[in-house]
Amino acid sequence: MSEATPHSFFAELAELARGLGHAHRLLLLDHIAQNEHSVERLAEFAGLSLANASQHLQHLKRAGFVTTRRDGKRILYRLGDGPTAPLLAALKSQAAFNHTQLTTFIADSRSRPDRLEAIDAEELLRRMRENSVTLLDVRAETEYAVGHVPGAVNIPLPELERRLAELRKDQEVIAYCRGPHCALSAEAVRALSAKGYKARHFDSGLPGWQALGLATSSLQSSGSKAGL
Amino acid sequence: MSEATPHSFFAELAELARGLGHAHRLLLLDHIAQNEHSVERLAEFAGLSLANASQHLQHLKRAGFVTTRRDGKRILYRLGDGPTAPLLAALKSQAAFNHTQLTTFIADSRSRPDRLEAIDAEELLRRMRENSVTLLDVRAETEYAVGHVPGAVNIPLPELERRLAELRKDQEVIAYCRGPHCALSAEAVRALSAKGYKARHFDSGLPGWQALGLATSSLQSSGSKAGL
DNA sequence: ATATCATTCAATTATTTAATTGAATGATTG
DNA sequence: CAATCATTCAATTAAATAATTGAATGATAT
């Protein structure tokens, strides 16, 4: 392990990422995230030998994901003070997204770039104030949990058809997802329209909403600029 | 590469993390994040052979971080539609945090768990309304960028001593960081008090603030619950 | 069609990373 | 202060991941 010379900035980031790059470590980390545990308990939990568990734990520790303290003759591992939880959440979001990608036939929608009716921020804001629209967040649950437009209903696209009943048919539905490149909401509008709903999408998605300074949360906005 | 059977959920996450686990891939990803590029351009940029770059790019693609489209006879890589940017931001945050950890002597503060004066959310809110406090965010710049309490000044802990001049001495300073476990703000209060400032910390940090539904942003809140 | 050209594949070698074993550490407790 | 016990270290073997080479695709464009 290159503790000595993490040459570039990216090498350093990569090292961190590799810290999460093993199922056993993630399992351990998850368990630790819920409670402080001794090495022995963790090894048993994960079904690993003591030495092996210890090594994985030290790996996590080096990366700053966990810290230790001594209690009597055992050493307890707990989550570090760093932003590990958000990092895990983000990782999980990405996984969730990949699932929706698979479950859905985005490729299809992507190949016919028909212009769907969009709503702009200004009109959306007005309509929300007068409560004349249903806002629909079609991203994965995990992404929704991480941050969403206040008042939005969350129905991940793959579940949309099954959960249509949750949407009022007497109001226009405005779907949104991750922004201009994200095809989920367009797909949702297509599906809803086919079912007789009046639907449009909010093209700039959550990031666009955040730009207005109104969102509840999320990292979405800050991308990479100078150095990632 | 195990495309076939990502056995557990964690194995799947680990595979994703490993996708970011190499400096070359991060470098490529960063470049792609800024603009669509052909394989050739990317290979040249990163100083890699074509085949090697191609392999790394495919790795990124499999993980869902990037997508491709064809333009004439070249293939262009661009960022995927998934929450890749937040994921990178989170990774970067963690790296930034690790740096502050090294530069700082938190270990020290942790070993003497003296109770510092804290301020609760209610009082803080009141004092902010009447503009009688300076709110100080002592986390890394990257974390601040990702989300912070409106009106807070950002001075990363390691720089605090050097930048004291930026803080008014006639107002109480309220420092905050990542929450109850985070020792940065406590350390800041200690340092400020030593310099003659009137200082307290807001113990529940950014997450606590978000709980009030007032923060500008951030993933911080959602931790791991049931399954990571 | 067929030649062209960017990209990908396939097969090899080199390098990292994981698991296993058994011994060493080092703080605690009698 | 010596014995104990959880944890870590060190050394080995096994497995996974990177880089290199040269050949194969497969869509374009003449």
Report d(CA A158, CA A34) in Å as an integer: 30
Residue A58 beta carbon within 7 A of nucleic strand D: yes
Q: Which of A2-6, A173-177, B69-73, B205-209 has the lowest mean pLDDT?
A: A2-6
The answer to whether the Cα torsion of B208, B210, B211, B212 is positive or negative is positive
Diameter over CA atoms, chain B: 67
Give tens-digit pLDDT for A113-165: 445 677 888 888 888 888 889 999 988 776 777 778 888 888 877 677 778 88
Per-residue model confidence (pLDDT) at position B178: 78
DSSP A208: H
Measure CA A164 to chain center: 24
- Mean pLDDT across the stretch A56-83? 92
Buried b (16+ CB within 10 A) or exposed e, A189-206: bbbbeeeebebbbbbbbb
CB–CB of A200/A120 below 8 Å?
no
Strands A153-154 and A133-137: parallel
Least confident of A25-29, A85-89, B3-7: B3-7
Nearest residue to A142 via CA among A193, A75, A91, A83: A91
User: What are A122's strand-pairing partners?
Assistant: none
For A36, counting Cβ atoms within 10 Å of its Cβ (0-12 exposed, 13-18 middle, 19+ buried), the class is middle
Beta-bridge partner residues of A134? A173
Residues A226, A203 contacting (CB under 8 angstroms): no
The tokens describing B121, both together, are 């959310």
Write b or e for each residue in A41-52: b if 16 or more Cβ atoms lie within 10 A of its Cβ, otherwise e. Answer: bbbeebebeeee
**Can you give the pLDDT at residue B81?**
85
Q: Do B10 and A20 touch (CB under 8 A)?
A: no
Q: For chain A, what percent of residues have pLDDT higher than 90?
A: 31
Q: How far apart are CA B42 and CA B39, in angstroms?
A: 5
- Distance of alpha carbon A138 from alpha carbon A95, whole angstroms: 16
Q: How close B24 comes to chain A (CA, Å)? A: 8
Helix (H), strand (E) at residue B43 = helix B39-46
In the predicted model, is pLDDT for residue A217 greater than 50?
no
- Chain pair A-B, CB pairs under 8 angstroms: 234
Q: CA Rg, chain A, in Å? A: 22
Q: Which of B57, B96, B177, B191 is catalytic?
A: B177
Cβ neighbours of A213 in B, within 8 Å:
216
Provide the pLDDT for residue A147.
76
Residue corresponding to tokens 């016919």 = A112
Q: How far apart are CA B100 and CA B159, in angstroms?
A: 10
**Contact status, residue B217 vs residue B147, Cβ threshold 8 Å:** yes
Distance CA A141, CA A97 (A): 10
Helix (H) or strand (E) holding A126: helix A121-129
ipTM: 0.59
Both tokens assigned to B167: 């803080």
Contacting residues for B228 by C-beta, under 8 A, at least 6 apart:
A26, A29, A30, A33, A88, A92, B9, B10, B13
Query: Chunked in runs of 10, what are the mean pLDDT values of chain B (228 residues)?
Result: 52 94 94 92 92 96 93 91 88 84 47 61 83 87 76 81 82 84 74 83 78 46 31
- CB contacts of B216 in chain A (<8 Å) are 213
Above 50 in pLDDT, residue A2? Answer: no
Can you tell me which residue has the tokens 């509840």? A216
Greatest C-alpha distance within chain A = 67
Q: What is the pLDDT of residue A211?
A: 64
Disruptive mutation site among A25, A26, A31, A182 for chain B (greatest number of B CBs within 10 Å) = A26
Do residues B121 and B208 lie in contact, with contact meaning Cβ atoms separated by under 8 Å? yes
